[in-house]
Structure 1
């Protein structure tokens, strides 16, 4: 059963928040983030200011999925993760 929009946003926020706090993650989480963003981008009620943020998160996730040092990749993006979580809170 597909997740509703607000649940997708909540799940995305939770994964990013965990990456931010723990400075570690899994390839599966990166793949989940990519799927969530693809799904969110097709919503007609998506705030246009959120689209570039979602694209940045998607790029981060793709780079992380392909990184040989995922935890280091997450650590290098800690400031962005903090900002993205804040942005999601603002738009949701």
Structure 2
């Protein structure tokens, strides 16, 4: 059974919150973030105002997948992670 867009947003927020609080993550998590964001961006039920945030998160995941030092990438995006989670909470 596929996840609803609401469930996808909750999962996305959970992963990003874990990255923010733990200052570390995995390539698999970045790949999951990428898949979630792709799915959300094509979903007509998603508020258009959250799409710019989702696009930023997509680029964050892409950079995370391709970076030689994922923990450093996560650490350098702490402010962004906090803002993205806050944005998602206000539109979910």
In the superposition, the TM-score normalised over structure 2's length comes to: 0.97
CA distance in 2, matches of 1:12, 1:71: 18
CA-atom RMSD in angstroms? 0.6
In the superposition, the TM-score normalised over structure 1's length comes to: 0.97
SS of corresponding position for 2:29: helix
Please state which structure has a larger fraction of its residues in helix: 2
CA distance in 2, matches of 1:20, 1:43: 26
Q: How many residues align?
A: 92
Structure 2 match to 1:48: 48
Flag structure 1 segments of 5+ consecutive residues without an equivalent: none
Note if contact 2:5-2:45 (Cα within 8 Å) is conserved in structure 1: no
CA distance in 2, matches of 1:36, 1:87: 16
Greater than 4 Å deviation, 4+ residue runs: none
